[in-house]
């Protein structure tokens, strides 16, 4: 039997009243005249604002404490303090990557996220345990949440022998993307680290998403080494640089040389828009044709107490970080957690258009900017053509 | 008849289970053994975390669009664009300072704020109209919300002849504090502007709260001129510098000279912790003995679409801006919207202690840090010894 849904009486960002016809999980028609498919479930949107399902471009569902007792953070201030503390916590807390990733993923969907890229820790202590947990969550959520898994060497790669091999196993077992982390300041050897990352990605034919926290001039140095290798290896369009704090702290001339190469090599940039760090210049990146998108990074874990699985709140924080106040500017913040994020991660069939996967969100808001700053309860979430949440709460699974 | 309330089964930040005995609007006893006053209304807190009523240290209730239709922001990027646009909007929008300040003030109380300092526009267009509106709101809310009014020359003072006289009238008619704004970059004459401000404050015997957005070296120059005048006029302990962006952008040695003078002169600092501006160093200021506190600044007005009348959310944003992640660090963020703000504004009889005005908030949270990052619905708000809100909603006024 054909599965169909007809969402009528909803409003596009430009104010146009439309209906959406959905057949077999796809948008079949969208417009003022879209007719109801035969035998469709009919849903009246009550004039609410229609948005595409949100895209989380960078998070860590494997190690969130979402829904668990409060974690009292007493961690030291260094990156290495946080990494070491987390390894210890994983060993001693009864950490369960499957249960914890499922709890957070469900909360994401309830708040309108239908696509998500998550970085999953791979190291010589945890080995592939996190990956297995998140693969189980991906399987459980497969009809609802389109999840990309990054095999991420959180504890460093070259500095922990055996990690390269584990990353390879992870890619063979279902990870979609190869992660990497601070080749100079964590791995201690930027050339060897980047060479190993590029070799691994090419061997498994996977794209790369590198966490580059390295600041200022050292970050610029590492970034240039990376871009050289992207160019030499023909990996144009297959690399994301996450964080890229250095791009917010360089002299303009030096920064612009890097941004122009980033644009040429179709490298995408991810930001969580942290208010206490320098960040790449959002509007300038867009002007240069760079895909720059947004993500929460960790949510309520041993690294950070902050974060909620709500991409409208992340869009608001992006807006605040970049001082976007005008309504038209705030649509940029929303783009960072919708179209630009889908493009940056390479999620297919995305968007409010005929033929796309029917991932939709309804909210009571006058404009996109209004939705971003007020973060209203999600009236309705449709994923893959099915209603999966109402008023912020997941609907029971279909019989 | 004596009015009394007994709040039992609540928890202090250190985990101690206590009860609170409240008589005639004051905390009469607080501790594990506090007994119920005779004929008291008894309220079981259900083990919730007990916090003092929150303090909003800097907002603009007179011109918020809270609760009104969405304001589509199409304003230019300069400070003067925003000031000019707002003057025009006030003239053409049917702006009603009484109604708008009342709507926002009520939302503040529902979310646990019981003390509030608001800057009220005084200029040669609006004259005292905003003041009159906010005075009406203060009168309406007098049993619930302890409100300080700052007479604030939003359009500049010396550059708009007649403003000094209007500020004087405002202070005579009920404003508690004299405001000021960028003596160099808005008023164009830092010495004359500061001299006029100091003279006016002394004439009316009122404290000062100056908005100093001036960046870097010009901000440092103006700040030094101000400190000289605070010292010469004996206004130690009676001046707040709001924003003080320059203090986040100076070379350390120059900044520390200023901070030491600020500490000596008992000048307090206010920050809204904007993520797109430089900000004074919070921990260093506290180490030097400076009272530094927090506020929202404008909430959903023609300046900014952002902001909610929720001091826990502001504490969260302060925590994020200053990268406070540990539980003990997050109590600093909460201090900025509670004790430090009461001290900075000079609100009397504040805090969780016997003899203080009984302004209390209950939330379901394990620790103060947990309350700040999760911003839970306020289970109960007590203001001046009366229950004024439950579960985020104002209770009906007493018969």
**B97-113 mean pLDDT:** 98
Q: Do residue A300 and residue B274 have CB atoms under 8 angstroms apart? A: no
Please indicate, yes or no, whether residues B259 and B157 belong to a single structural domain of this protein: yes
Domain match, B136 and B38 both: no
Report if residue B76 sits inside a domain: yes
Say what the pLDDT of residue B2 is.
Answer: 67
Please indicate, yes or no, if residue A250 is contained in any of the structural domains: yes
User: Pick from A345, A360, A379: which residue ends a domain?
Assistant: A345
Question: Does residue B397 surpass a pLDDT of 80?
Answer: no
CB contact under 8 A, A369 and B69: no
**Residue B360's pLDDT is what?**
98
**Are A306 and B327 an interchain contact pair (Cβ–Cβ within 8 Å)?**
no
**Whether residue B10 sits in one domain with residue B75:** no
Residues of chain B whose beta carbon is less than 8 angstroms from a beta carbon of chain A are 69-70, 72-75, 273-276, 300, 303-306, 316-317, 319-323, 325-328, 330, 365-367, 369-370, 373
> Tell me, what's the pLDDT at B76?
87
Cβ-defined contact of B300 to A72 (cutoff 8 Å): no
The last residue of a domain, from among B345, B362, B378: B345
The mean pLDDT of A94-121, rounded to a whole number, is: 97
Best of B215, B305, B367, B373 to disrupt the A interface (most A CBs within 10 Å) is: B305
Give pLDDT, residue B399: 45
Contacts of A321 in chain B (CB under 8 A): 275-276
**Residue range A251-266: mean pLDDT, rounded:** 98
Q: Measured between alpha carbons, how far is B274 from A14 in angstroms, rounded to an integer?
A: 30
Region A3-20 average pLDDT: 96
Mark yes or no for CB contact A370/B70 under 8 Å: yes
A265 and A248 assigned to the same domain? yes
Whether the pLDDT of residue B164 is over 60: the answer is yes
Do A210 and A78 fall into the same domain?
Answer: yes
For the stretch B47-68, pLDDT in tens is 999 999 999 999 999 999 999 9
In chain A, what residues touch B73 (CB-CB under 8 Å)? Answer: 325-327, 369
Can you give the CATH number for the domain in which A361 is found?
A: 2.30.40.10
Domain membership of residue A243 (yes or no) is yes
A399 is a domain residue: no
A39 and A79 part of one domain: no
State residue B237 phi and psi, 5-degree precision.
Answer: 80, 5
Is residue A16 one of the residues assigned to a domain? yes
CA A377 to chain CA centroid, nearest Å: 21
Beta-carbon-side half-sphere exposure of residue B114 (alpha carbons within 13 Å): 33
Q: Tell whether B123 and B38 lie within a shared domain.
A: no
- Percent of chain A exceeding pLDDT 90 equals 93
Question: pLDDT (tens digit, 9 = 90+) per residue, A49-64?
Answer: 999 999 999 999 999 9
Report residue A90's pLDDT band, with 50, 70 and 90 as the boundaries.
Answer: confident
Residues of A within an 8 Å Cβ radius of B: 69-70, 72-75, 273-276, 300, 303-306, 316-317, 319-323, 325-328, 330, 365-367, 369-370, 373
pLDDT attached to residue B155: 93
Question: What percentage of residues in chain A have a pLDDT greater than 70?
Answer: 99
A319 to B304: CB separation less than 8 angstroms, yes or no: no
Does residue B104 sit in the same domain as residue B230? yes
Residue A87: predicted pLDDT: 85
pLDDT class of B3 with cuts at 50, 70, 90: confident
- Between the alpha carbon of residue A325 and those of residues A101, B52, B279, the distances in Å are 34, 33, 19
B398 in a structural domain: no
Question: Residue range A147-169: average pLDDT?
Answer: 97
Q: Tell me the torsion sign for CA atoms B82, B84, B90, B93.
A: negative
The stretch A133-146 carries a mean pLDDT of 97
Report how many domains make up chain A: 2
| A56 phi, psi to nearest 5 deg | -90, 115
- Probe site for chain B from A67, A81, A272, A275 (most B CB atoms < 10 A): A275
Cα A251 to the center of its chain, rounded Å: 29
Spatial CB neighbours of A214, under 8 Å, sequence gap ≥ 6: A182, A184, A185, A222, A245, A246
| Three-state DSSP string of B136-181 | HHHHHCCCCCEEEEEEECCCCCCCCCCHHHHHHHHHHHCCCEEEEE
Nearest by CB to residue A321, choosing from B74, B276, B323, is: B276
Q: DSSP character for B238? A: -
Determine, yes or no, domain membership for B399. no
With respect to residue A232, please indicate whether it lies within any of the assigned structural domains.
yes
pLDDT for the residue B245 = 98
Domain edge (last residue) among B329, B345, B361? B345
C-alpha distances out from residue A338 to A187, A312, A325, A366, B134, Å: 33, 10, 19, 18, 41
**Within 10 A of A260 (CB to CB), how many other CB atoms are there?**
13
Are B341 and B359 contained in the same domain? no
pLDDT band at B78 (very low <50, low <70, confident <90, very high): confident
**B320/A306 Cβ within 8 A:** yes
**Interface confidence (ipTM) of the complex:** 0.95
CATH for A285: 3.20.20.140
To 10 degrees, the CA torsion angle through A127, A129, A130, A134?
A: 140
Neighbours of A213 (CB within 10 A): 16
**Do both A93 and A176 map to the same domain?**
yes
Domain that residue A339 falls in: 60-345
Q: Please give the pLDDT value at position A276.
A: 96
Q: What does the angle CA A93 – CA A96 – CA A99 come to, to the nearest 5 degrees? A: 130
Chain A neighbors of B283, CB-CB under 8 A: none
For A307, nearest residue in chain B (alpha carbons): B373
Partners of residue B11 in chain A, C-beta under 8 Å: none
pLDDT at B264: 98
pLDDT for the residue numbered A398: 57
A72 contacts B367? CB cut-off 8 A: yes
Mean model confidence pLDDT for chain B? 96
Q: How far lies A348's CA from each of A143, A209, A290, B139, B207, in Å?
A: 15, 18, 19, 58, 61
Q: Give the pair of three-digit tokens for residue A4.
A: 């169909």
* Same domain assignment for residues A35 and A104: no
- What's the rounded mean pLDDT across residues A344-368? 97
Over residues A308-318, the mean pLDDT reads 98
Average pLDDT over residues B4-32: 97
A399 pLDDT tier (thresholds 50, 70, 90):
very low
Whether residue A373 is found in the same domain as residue A338:
no
Do residues B175 and B151 make contact, with C-beta atoms less than 8 angstroms apart?
Answer: yes
Query: Is B306 within 8 Å of A316 when comparing Cβ atoms?
Result: yes
């Amino acid at each position: 039997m054909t599965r169909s849904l007809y969402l009528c009486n909803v409003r596009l960002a430009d104010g146009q009243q439309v209906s959406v016809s959905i057949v077999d999980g796809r948008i079949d028609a969208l417009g003022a005249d879209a007719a109801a498919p035969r035998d469709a479930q009919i849903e009246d949107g009550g004039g609410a604002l229609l948005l595409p399902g949100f895209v989380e471009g960078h998070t860590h569902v494997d190690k969130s404490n979402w829904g668990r007792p409060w974690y009292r953070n007493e961690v030291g201030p260094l990156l290495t303090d946080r990494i070491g503390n987390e390894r210890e916590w994983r060993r001693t807390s009864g950490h369960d990557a499957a249960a914890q990733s499922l709890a957070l993923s469900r909360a994401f969907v309830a708040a309108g996220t239908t696509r998500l890229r998550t970085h999953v820790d791979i190291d010589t202590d945890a080995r592939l345990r996190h990956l297995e947990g998140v693969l189980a969550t991906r399987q459980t959520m497969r009809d609802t949440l389109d999840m990309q898994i990054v095999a991420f060497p959180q504890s460093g790669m070259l500095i922990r022998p055996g990690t390269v091999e584990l990353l390879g196993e992870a890619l063979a077992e279902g990870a979609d993307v190869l992660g990497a982390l601070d080749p100079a300041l964590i791995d201690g050897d930027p050339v060897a680290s980047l060479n190993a990352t590029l070799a691994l990605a090419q061997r498994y034919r996977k794209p790369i998403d590198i966490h580059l926290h390295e600041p200022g001039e050292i970050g610029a140095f590492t970034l240039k080494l990376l871009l050289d290798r992207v160019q030499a290896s023909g990996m144009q369009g297959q690399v994301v640089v996450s964080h890229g704090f250095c791009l917010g702290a360089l002299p303009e001339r030096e920064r612009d040389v890097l941004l122009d190469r980033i644009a040429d090599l179709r490298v995408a940039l991810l930001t969580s828009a942290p208010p206490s760090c320098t960040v790449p210049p959002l509007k300038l990146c867009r002007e240069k044709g760079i895909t720059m998108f947004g993500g929460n990074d960790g949510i309520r874990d041993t690294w950070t107490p902050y974060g909620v699985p709500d991409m409208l709140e992340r869009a608001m924080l992006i807006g605040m970080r970049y001082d976007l106040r005008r309504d038209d500017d705030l649509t940029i913040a929303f783009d960072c957690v919708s179209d630009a994020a889908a493009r940056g991660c390479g999620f297919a069939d995305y968007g409010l258009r005929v033929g796309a996967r029917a991932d939709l969100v309804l909210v009571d808001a006058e404009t996109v900017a209004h939705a971003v700053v007020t973060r209203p309860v999600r009236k309705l979430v449709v994923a893959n053509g099915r209603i999966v949440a109402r008023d912020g709460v997941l609907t029971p699974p279909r019989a």
